Amino acid sequence: MAVQSMERSVQRDLVEAAQRGDHEAFEVLAIGSADRLFAIARLILRDVDLAQDAVQEALIRSWRGLPSLRDPERFDAWLHRLLVNCCTDQARTRQRLAANVRVIDDRLPDPDGSGLAADRDQLERGFRRLRIEQRTLVVMRYYLGLSLPELADTLSLPMGTVKSRLHYAMETLRAALEADLRPGPSATEKTA
């Protein structure tokens, strides 16, 4: 607990220094956040190049907007919100979302690996069917582990809206996964 308190204090000091124009302090913050931001953007956008662009844009916006950040303690939530906005902008400008993500799985693989690959492919197909706003909520809730109040605060949305959108996202994902499990038409049905 004391280590977390100390880390928050160091981060707050870095944020305050960066707010005063200290480039080195901002560089430390950016380097410390870049990998996490990239992982989030990649999961939301499903494309490595778009994710890199979104992270870069979020960091640029954070540098420019840092002097107006009222609460240095809220830096991470503020940065996540900037990233989500940049991901949304990237998705709008490109309109296509390529699947270029490696899903991290901590289960032991099958001897031939076919079961994991099939599961991963099925999850990817289901995830691609979600709208960008739905993917954002799923990633922030289940990848970042944000609570519903944290989600609402980070995205500046009412709690009811967050609950509703997350519910519909999970329903859409569930329906997509279930649709993949249904057997397709047999060869005789296709020709009939």
> What does the domain layout of the chain look like in residue ranges?
9-101, 119-181
Per-residue pLDDT at 112? 53
| pLDDT digit string, tens, across residues 154-180 | 888 899 999 999 999 899 888 888 887
Per-residue pLDDT at 34? 93
Q: How far apart are CA 192 and CA 187, in angstroms?
A: 9
Do 9-101 and 119-181 show the same overall fold? no
Residue 47 vs residue 106, higher pLDDT = 47
- Mean of the per-residue pLDDT values of the chain: 82
| pLDDT digit string, tens, across residues 24-39 | 999 999 999 999 999 9
3-state secondary structure of 44: helix
Q: Which fold has domain 119-181?
A: Arc Repressor Mutant, subunit A (1.10.10)
Per-residue pLDDT at 191? 52
Our measurement of the distance from residue 20's CA atom to the centroid of its chain's CA atoms, rounded to an integer in Å, reads: 29
Nearest to 55, CA basis, from 74, 29, 72, 80: 80
| pLDDT greater than 90 at residue 60 | yes
| pLDDT digit string, tens, across residues 109-123 | 445 555 667 677 777
Q: Which fold has domain 9-101?
A: Rna Polymerase Sigma Factor; Chain: A (1.10.1740)
pTM: 0.70
Our measurement of the distance from residue 138's CA atom to the centroid of its chain's CA atoms, rounded to an integer in Å, reads: 8
